[in-house]
Structure 1
Amino acid sequence: MSRVVVIGAGISGLASAALLARDGHDVTVLEGRPSVGGRAGSWEHRGFRFDLGPSWYLMPEVFDHFYKLLGTSADEQLKLVTLDPGYRVLFENAESIDIVADPEENLEIFERIEPGSRERMQKYLASALDTYEMAKRRFLYTSFADLRPLLRRDVISRLPKLARLLLQPLSTLAAKTVTDPRLRQILGFPAVFLGSSPFITPSMYHLMSHLDLDDGVLYPMGGFITLIDSIEKLARAEGVTVVTDARVTRILVTDDRKPRTTGVEYVDAAGKAHTIDADIVVSAADLHHTETTMLPRELQTYPQEYWDKRTPGPGALLLYLGVEGELPQLEHHNLLFTEEWKEGFDAIFGENPSIPNPASLYVCKPSGIDPSVAPDGFENVFVLVPIPSDPTIGRGEIDGDGDPRVEAAADHVIAQIANWAGIPDLADRIVVRRTMGPGDFATDLNSWSGTLLGPAHTLKQSALFRAGNISKRVDGLYYAGGSTIPGIGLPMCLISAEILVKRLRGDVSTEPMPEPLRPTVAAGAAAPAGAGTTGTAGARVARGGVASAASPAATATEPTTGATAAASTSDAPAEMPAERS
């Protein structure tokens, strides 16, 4: 049984720990903060409970697959409800649009606004679905350690389309599909989910429109903290030890010719230093922070020079508001889009970043469907304003006590929501107010450049071009989470945990793993080289339920190393090997 230390108890850290423990490893998770969840944490104050970050439940089959790997299901773990409308869009100087749960009705909405658009939208959404299914089958569940499994007929036959989608920005594809500026914005806004702009995000990501226009939007009752709680409980049930208030300061490495991990050092809440031994270290913390502060320069796969050439996703101004009385003007999810759409993104991602004013922003009102998040007679309101990822903008605080620039921007945002949604007394009805800014993400979550989500999904930072999940300099050091493959968002973080297991197994397949997860090595057998043993495999298989066949690649005797990965992709651009595996 290999000893594994996972750094960080966000969703990717907890998910990685759960799967690794089920695969037979002895796993300890170290979390620097007092509670788990990371960006998906929770805050309670005066009877309100706020999800601190993620609030859109998309790609439901990814969540369900993850739970089934652990022998359960999303239906067993969560109480999911369908939102209808899925979301409301408020425009600066135009009538609002509701996107509903019925895909056919959404096509009719587009047709009413822009006669003749229905047929083009049908083709757009058919392409989105095809691209989405292709992504899940070939590009999301792989480490890209070996590109040969991608040379399948379904990929090769789509190469012209894939090349076009990679080289053309999402904004261009949206403009070719519809002419109404409001409809173009609806097709382009999913880029924000990817920590990017529709003007720099490849149109490959038009696949996101399948999720909200066709697939619908769900919500887990009790909020997203119920998702975190369920994964933590499942991890503990698999034998994982979770230690909070344990801030990792250094990854311990041997002085051998080929360095390898031996454990980590961490500091507890009292400031006392500790050492914990490990055969494998998995960092689910921010990758920039891990590489540049926990390892010496000569052992960094992604040193500062790498990050200097990369594009961070946006920062954010976050508001958590407790509001007296009802707010029927708002739906569960609300998007506010300005007329100066492109200028707003240029302000965030341009050469001279600034906070857009007015800003396109997002408002969530979960209390409309979930009474557990606010006291009777009050509403729970969460606001996210994309802004530059610049920690110098400042930090937020409770009751307006944050840094002046953050609080002034928050005042503007509250006034904007009041004006656009027709709630003139909104500011007077706020009884709880908390703000967060890029400085909070940099300080509290060690987020690179204070970004809200991680590296933006530009062409150079997507799929096989994104940072890989293994150190090329230190044996036994792996990565998970939004900084690495496959990318940003809760579903991607769950997939990153699965890719980690595949990497340790030497599994270079592209498909999701069979359900439930079964250890590769039987009890008492030799472990894959470098991956540790799985001495409790027999017991875990019995507890996992019905057996299923492992993927062919899962029987490999040795994980694909950085060297062999580079060799198998020798025709790739010169910069790729250092960015990938």
Structure 2
Amino acid sequence: MNATIKIIGSGFSSLAAAAYLACEGNDVTVYEKNDTLGGRARQLKKDGFTFDMGPTWYWMPDVFERFFEDFGKKPRDYYQLKKLSPAYSVYFGKEDYITIADNLEDIYRVFEENEPGSSTELKNFISEAKSNYDIAIKDLVYRPGLSPLELVTPQTIAKLGQFFGNISKDIRKKFKNKRLVQILEFPVLFLGAKPSDTPSFYSFMNYADFGLGTWYPKNGMYSVVEGMVELAKEQGVKFVTNASVSKIGVSETGCAEYITVNGEKLYADIILSGADYHHTETLLDKRFRQYNEDYWQKKVFAPSSLLFYVGFDKPVENVEHHTLFFDSDFDTHAIDIYDNPKWPDEPLFYASFSGKTDTDAMPVGKEAGTFLIPLAPGIEDTPELREKYFEKIITRLENLTQQSLRDSILFKESFCVNDFVKDYNSYKGNAYGLANTLMQTAFLRPGLKSKKVKNLFFTGQLTVPGPGVPPALISGKLVAGLIEKQLDKEPKKSLTKHYEINI
């Protein structure tokens, strides 16, 4: 049967799910509480400057290609991609930095220069990481998290030990140079947990980094949102912005029946939420919620962030498009996020200067800078704290890159814990969802399908497969497949092979 499907939220997972479901002939409408589509992947435009407010890294290009191929399309049909060269740079102190190239041979050379013998270790490490990537990203993450048996394959059995070790210990066994260790531990931070709490198997993120490279879509990550919206509209999806959902109504028979949008009841056969999972369940009467507050309190959440969007009246020198500042203690900052949540004394931070690649990001002769400090979710957020930490990072930026910048600031906008709560209904103001620790992997994450309410489904970074933009696309595909299965409808021939979900 063709169904009327209402989707809450317009982030990457919702956009993906909407496109798949509409392609199957369903009547799909997406409701977004904010005035622009894309969820957290919004844009800020000010005085001729353009900033990605959310994701700025384009990794795992093969996942995007697979998504568009499902519709007989390619990413280039909707946006232009450029591989960054170099991929990024990491500062460890004044005149002390390592630049990561766009190819493995140059990366091996840099490692060897910093630690003799390390290039051989890195080749072996990346070979194993590629093997894990082929298992994880080409297979395991496309399973819907309904059973622990999904994780049992000949390939995963052969790597069983990697699910119980941790990536930090593995890296430190092979590499002694502290700077190289930090560079290798950096990619798993995208998974939302400390390297010491991240299973060894997740080394596939290192292959995503070094092996596949870092890319940039012209006009920023928002162009990916625009491309996915265009694709979804081509399938027949309808979009409504400024649409605040205040309730999910459940019938006497226990079926999701309607959503209340701006005070109006809108009925549907299927309701899918790509909004914050915890928030979505608060839209239900208590008896219909799967997870209580104790459940959420015990979960390990990925960090929140303090973000600054800064317009400079001159170019910023001695930085790359993506620049990491690891001149303070990596482990201490991690403790301040996960073990003893508080504002870090000397935080690590990240900066994006998209104008190094895309001159349309700012007026000629200016610079657009986005700065991010990872923080513990749920901590205090005040204007005074934001200003204090901006002073910390701008001072360090000036010192490390040896230039004066403070007097060149035209404006700065900030976004932090309170804004994540207000704009995205984010639990504790987290920025990246639920961390991918061993006990929060696959079937151990909140489910794509409600166990208490029929016809109610979830997608996004708090459910399967996890945080990040590529996993969000996969999450949308997985939930669309489950919905189609429930509707007892054979997929169209053109998409049949793409809806093979192992249950």
Establish whether TM, by shorter chain, passes 0.5: yes
Corresponding residue of 2:272: 282
Q: Which amino acid aligns with 2:338?
A: F
Paired letter, 1:420: L
Counterpart in 1 of 2:332?
343
Report the equivalent of 2:78. Answer: 77
- Quote the residue 1:48 is aligned against: 49
Partner of 1:440: 419
Quick one: which amino acid aligns to residue 222 of structure 2?
Answer: I
Give the Cα–Cα distance (whole angstroms) in 2 for the partners of residues 432 and 69 of structure 1.
42
Higher deviation after alignment, 73-82 or 460-469:
460-469
Q: Does the alignment pair 1:185 with 2:182?
A: yes
Q: What is the distance in 1 between the residues matched to 2:429 and 2:496?
A: 43
* 2:394 aligns with one of 414, 421, 445: 414
Counterpart code for 2:390: A
Comparing 225-234 and 169-178, the one that deviates more? 169-178
Is the aligned partner of 1:392 residue 2:380? yes
Q: Which residue of 2 aligns with 1:503?
A: 482
How far apart, CA to CA, are the structure 1 residues paired with 2:301 and 2:147? 27
Write the distance in 1 (CA, Å) between the matches of 2:33 and 2:210.
39
For residue 13 of structure 1, what is the amino acid of its counterpart? Answer: S
1:531 corresponds in structure 2 to: 487
Structure 1, 38-47 or 383-392: larger mean CA deviation: 383-392
Cα deviation code 1:378-401 (max 9, x no counterpart): 01111111011125223xxxxxxx
CA contact 1:166–1:459 (8 Å) conserved in 2:
yes
Amino acid at match of 1:383: F
Structure 2 letter corresponding to 1:531: L
Change (3 A) 1:48 1:176: same
Q: Give the match for residue 478 of structure 1.
A: 457
Q: 2:207 aligns with which of 183, 205, 210?
A: 210
Is the partner of 1:470 in helix, strand or coil? coil
Distance 2:44 2:135 in 1: 38
Deviation string for 1:531-564 (max 9, x for gaps)? 2768xx87xx7xxxxx47536957x9xxx7xxxx
| DSSP 3-state at the match of 2:34 | coil
1:405 and 2:385 correspond: yes
Q: What is the 5 A alignment of 1:119-138?
A: 119-138=120-139
Q: Conserved in 2, the CA contact under 8 Å of 1:481 and 1:487?
A: yes
Overall identity of the aligned pairs, in %: 32
Query: Larger Cα Rg: Structure 1 or Structure 2?
Result: 1
One-letter amino acid of the structure 2 residue matched with residue 411 of structure 1: E
Aligned residue for 2:173, secondary structure, equals: helix
Matches within 5 A, 1:419-430: 419-423=399-403, 425-430=404-409
Query: How far off is 1:155 after superposition?
Result: 3.1
Moved more, 69-78 or 246-255: 69-78
Tell me how large the CA RMSD over aligned residues is: 1.9
Partner Cα separation in structure 2 for residue 204 and residue 348 of structure 1: 23
Of 338, 352, 365, which residue of structure 2 is paired with 1:377?
365
What amino acid sits opposite 1:193 in the alignment?
A: F
Distance of 1:234 and 1:294 partners within structure 2: 29
Q: Using a 3 Å threshold, how does the CA distance of structure 1 residues 30 and 137 change in structure 2: closer, same or farther?
A: same
Secondary structure at the counterpart of residue 412 of structure 2: strand
CA shift at 1:27, angstroms? 0.4
Gaps of 5+ in 2: none
CA distance in 2, matches of 1:553, 1:56: 29
- Give 1:128 shift: 0.5
> Do residues 359 (structure 1) and 347 (structure 2) align?
yes
- Gap change, CA 1:316 and 1:151, over 3 Å in 2: closer
Deviation at 1:148, TM superposition (A): 4.6
Aligned to 1:245: 242
- The aligned residue for residue 435 of structure 2 is 456
Aligned residues: 502
| Aligned-residue offset at 1:463 | 2.3
- The alignment partner of 1:9 has SS state of coil
1:87 & 1:215 partners in 2: Cα distance?
A: 13
1:289-328 mapped onto 2 (5 Å cutoff): 289-291=279-281, 293-328=282-317
Deviation at 1:357, TM superposition (A): 2.7
Q: Distance in 2 between matches of 1:137 and 1:15?
A: 17
Cα 1:410–1:552, aligned 2, differ >3 Å: closer, same or farther? closer
Whether 1:172 and 2:169 are equivalent positions in the alignment is yes
1:38-89 Cα shifts (integer Å, max 9, x gaps) = 1111011100111001011100010011111122111222211111110000
Task: Report the CA distance between 1:94 and its aligned residue.
Answer: 6.4
Q: Deviations over 1:188-234 (max 9, x none)?
A: 11122112221222222211111121221110011111000111111
**Long gaps (5+) in structure 1:** 268-272, 395-402, 507-529, 542-546, 561-581
Equivalents in 1 of 2:79, 2:446: separation in Å?
32
Q: 1:94 to 1:166 in 2, by over 3 A?
A: farther
Aligned equivalents of 1:481 and 1:225: distance in 2? Answer: 18
Q: Secondary structure at the match of 2:449?
A: coil
Matching residue's letter, 2:273:
S
CA distance in 2, matches of 1:314, 1:421: 27
The within-5 A match list for 1:259-278 is 259-267=254-262, 273-278=263-268
Report if the CA contact (8 A) 1:391-1:437 is conserved.
Answer: no
Offset of residue 153 of structure 1:
2.8
Kept in 2: contact 1:312–1:449 (CA 8 A): no
Instruction: Provide the rounded CA distance (Å) in 2 between the counterparts of 1:552 and 1:237.
Output: 20
* 1:88 lines up with 2:85 in the alignment: no
Partner residue of 1:550? 497
**Superposition TM-score, scaled by structure 2 size:** 0.96
SS of the aligned residue for 2:121 comes to helix
Aligned equivalents of 1:43, 1:551: Cα separation in 2: 35
| Residue-by-residue CA offset, 1:254-276 (whole Å, 9 max, x unaligned) | 122xx111121111xxxxx1111
Aligned to 1:232: 229
* Residues in 2 aligned to 1:227 and 1:450: alpha-carbon distance in whole angstroms: 24
Matched position secondary structure for 2:443: helix
For residues 496 and 412 of structure 2, the distance between their equivalents in structure 1, rounded to whole angstroms, comes to 52
Q: Corresponding residue for 1:524?
A: none
**Secondary structure of 1:43 counterpart:** strand
Displacement, 1:303? 2.1
Residue 5 of structure 2 aligns to a residue in which SS? strand
Q: Which amino acid aligns with 1:266?
A: V
3-state DSSP class of the match of 1:326?
coil
Change (3 A) 1:478 1:333: same
Counterparts of 1:316 and 1:410 in 2: how far apart (Å)?
Answer: 13
1:300 and 1:219 mapped to 2: Cα distance?
40
Bigger CA drift: 105-114 or 324-333? 324-333
1:190/1:460 CA distance change after superposition, 3 Å: same
- CA–CA separation in structure 1 for the residues paired with 2:150 and 2:59: 27
Q: 1:346 to 1:251 in 2, by over 3 A?
A: same
| SS at 1:318 equivalent | strand
> Distance in 2 between the 1:419 and 1:112 partners?
25
Q: 2:142 — aligned with what? A: 141
Cα distance in 1 for residues equivalent to 2:205 and 2:137: 12
In structure 2, distance between residues paired with 1:449 and 1:214: 35
- Pick one of 468, 472, 478 that aligns with 2:447: 468
